[in-house]
A and B are shown apart, each in its own frame.
Chain A
């Protein structure tokens, strides 16, 4: 398996798409000017607009497959929790298991190391690795492509569900993989 794995690079998520290199965070806190003398965290202004995610809209409305999934994540992983919220918004029921043994767990479920991300999801006997859009999971479970054991969005591209950041949307691919660790592109997001 490792021989084939060596042919996959995580940077393969990077197909042509071009994003501007300049990233700025624009300020929304103009009215919230404060000097934090003791440097304790300043409470966020509740009136502040919360980020709207492009991933909230649903495109696989007719899905009738399995909706129960188990998500394994490290207790310290914040973005994993935001991805869990994303999956729930799209109708999945989540058993949310926090564990410090993520590395062992990924090995147990044969996640190719090159495809690893933070959280690992098991649904209908398949492995779903990382920040995969819920609609891709639905389409995969509806199609159940031959020989494929799961999907992965390797690493943590900024902009993916659970990794939303205001101005940054890194292009990414959803990769399907088989039990030999070979991959094919299942979906591709160049701009979203």
Chain B
């Protein structure tokens, strides 16, 4: 009788993924501006624009990095987990000298940025072969919102694997919202949430051994590459957390012990005023900016990840499936502490003015599910079709507004992301959405219908929309969007 436990599995798995790494990870890099580590919780180097230009070398490469107290072979930008944080202002030029030293092709998507979708900008159809270089070059529009955006690979078929290897970083646009006095005075911290699956040998678990149907999840959850980092709230008692879910499939339902979140931005777009929420559900791809008032007893408070059921394949309510054995209990992801019960600063009363988008010219339906497709077999589908590189699935006109009805007829949740333009949620299951907010990724729960309103502005060209459970995207749940000038 063989009883396979996890330890044995790990031992057996050693023969799996094998990409040569050692040797040149100490290689010096040419860097245009020297990165400086900043705050307590976040040791990620940052690159800021100077005189209207953000310029840097960026290399994707497998490296050995320290993760959760041991050496792990991960996919990195510039050897960092998470990737360096990039910061620019509206109007700035961005020039990234990118080198792909992965063993497979890749590219970069600038998630949430409203920039050109073609050429060497936010173009997901670029394919940069192993060993090749490409210079990304674009300008951030003068009227671009300030907010929390990010960058990651987006080559269809390899997206989940490359993000799960660690390739993701923040792209912050600094602008007028940062000048709001209360926000300026608050202590700013960045939290990049990633999960990893590493075997005893420090290698990444092979994709073939993951639950691709459900979407791969890892047993290690790291914030800024660290397990349960400490966030010391020092000044003024007001903490501004800028949180990114950079996991390929894992959802995070966050709560801070004894504290509320005052959410100030959704997917990098400021709300009109802070809204108090007890919990924050972040699907893959989503960001949230929140304020926390350190107005309780001094001490330590856990930032918790609460269980969330994102569906299964009709099996056992998902229990026990896929080794996701932690779904029933909260996990501490980070610890917020403050020594003195400081008189907390006031919250900003007004953030941004958002107006409701005008009525749409066109309404479309998108049905999300998985199923057997005659041509490719088991696949994830939009309107019954798996992704096909050669087909324009949706053609829209520049400078028009459309409503998209997103209908999830399946048994798993699907977060829906549209590249290039932010949208507003109009209704969920016919119930009007009360919160006026701009987003680029919206959760469509199983059985749910979500209506969104999207303006196609400024940039014509071909791009994509897709499920941000990236295994679902790689397995077909994506469509080509042509924005006609």
Contact = CB atoms under 8 A, between A and B. Distances in A.
Interface of A: 4, 7-25, 27-30, 32-42, 44, 48-51, 74, 76-79, 82, 102-103, 106, 113-114, 116-118, 154-156, 158, 163-166, 168, 170-171, 182-185
Given A10-B322, A103-B317, A118-B315, A170 B374 contact: no
How many of chain B's residues touch chain A, expressed as a range? Answer: 35 or more
A112 B325 CA distance: 14
B157 interface: yes
B207 interface: yes
A168 B212 contact: yes
A158 B213 contact: yes
* Interface SS, B side: loop
Contact of A102 (B13, B209, B314): B314
A113 B209 contact: no
Given A102-B315, A156-B213, A21 B9 contact: no
17 contacts: A14-B209, A19-B206, A21-B208, A29-B390, A36-B394, A77-B313, A77-B314, A78-B371, A103-B316, A113-B320, A118-B313, A155-B211, A158-B475, A164-B377, A164-B378, A165-B378, A185-B2
Contacts of A22: 104, 157-158, 161
Interface class of chain A by DSSP: loop
A72 B482 CA distance: 43
Contact of B323 (A11, A18, A50, A82): A11
Contacts of A156: 211, 213, 313
Interface string B453-485: 000000000000000000000111000001000
A37 B397 CA distance: 12
Contacts of B1: 182-184
A9 B9 CA distance: 8
B378 A163 contact: yes
Contacts of B475: 23, 158, 165
B16 interface: yes
Interface string B363-389: 011110011111111110001111111
4 A-B pairs with the lowest CB-CB distances in the bound complex, closest first: A14-B209, A19-B208, A41-B384, A12-B4
B13 A8 contact: no
A82 B393 contact: no
Contacts of A183: 1-4
A183 B376 CA distance: 33
Contacts of B367: 41
Contacts of B411: 74, 76
A106 B319 CA distance: 12
B375 A165 contact: no
A51 B322 contact: no
B319 A113 contact: yes
Contacts of A166: 375-377
A38 B364 contact: yes
Given A16-B16, A74-B411, 9 more contacts: A7-B4, A10-B321, A11-B322, A14-B13, A18-B18, A23-B207, A36-B393, A41-B385, A183-B3
Interface in B298-341: 313-317, 319-323, 325
A29 B388 contact: yes
A164 B325 CA distance: 27
Interface string B385-420: 111111111110000000000000011000000000
Contacts of B325: 9
Interface in B194-251: 205-209, 211-214
B27 interface: no
Contacts of A79: 371-372, 378
B9 A12 contact: yes
Given A11-B9, A158-B213, A165 B376 contact: yes
Given A27-B388, A37-B395, A183-B4, A51 B214 contact: no
A162 to B, nearest CB: 8
A48 B385 CA distance: 14
Contact of A11 (B6, B214, B366, B393): B6
Contact of A155 (B12, B18, B214, B386): B214
Contacts of B353: none
B17 interface: yes
Nearest to B394: A39
B181 interface: no
